[in-house]
Homo-oligomer: A and B are copies of this chain.
Amino acid sequence: MVVTKQISLESKGHCHIIDITPEVEKKLAEADVSQGTVTLFVTGSTAGISTIEFEPGLIADFQDMWQRNVPTDIPYQHDRAWGDGNGHSHVRASLLGASLVVPFSNKKLALGTWQQIVLVDFDNRPRSRQITAQIMGE
């Protein structure tokens, strides 16, 4: 059995990290499936999905890591060609990955207590985001 749902949200961009766990749990509660996987996939090439302990310190630490390893203030060919100024956003998104698969059993996601599912929006402006949450199982 397959149930395909959409999660829509507004992000501020600039490495905005949004906890989507409550939305994912809500979609799972609505679906008539007790055991299986939730596949999360963000449409667009400047955002990614992962898990993190969602607390202010780690949010800042994760953002700092991106700035150190895929800086905003170095030249990008993408920006030279298109003038978007978001070359770093694309590169970060490709490295993090657009999808995450989380198994569940008895309608409970396999997450730890301090492990939340997050959207990371790397774009350099606010964006409306669509995340597909596809529930598959029995």
Copies in the complex: 3
Q: Are A65 and B57 in contact, with the CB atoms below 8 A?
A: no
Pick the interface stretch among A8-16, A20-28, A79-87.
Answer: A79-87
A62 partner residues in chain B, CB cutoff 8 A: 90-91, 94
Give the size of the chain A interface in residues (CB under 8 angstroms): 58
Task: Please tell me which one of the listed residues B45, B69, B76, B134 contacts residue A37 in the complex, with CB atoms under 8 A apart.
Answer: B134
Interface of A is mostly: mixed
A4: nearest residue on chain B (CB-CB)? B105
State whether the Cβ of A29 lies closer than 8 Å to any Cβ in chain B: no
Residue contacts A-B, CB under 8 angstroms, 7 given: A43-B115, A44-B112, A57-B81, A58-B76, A58-B91, A58-B94, A95-B95
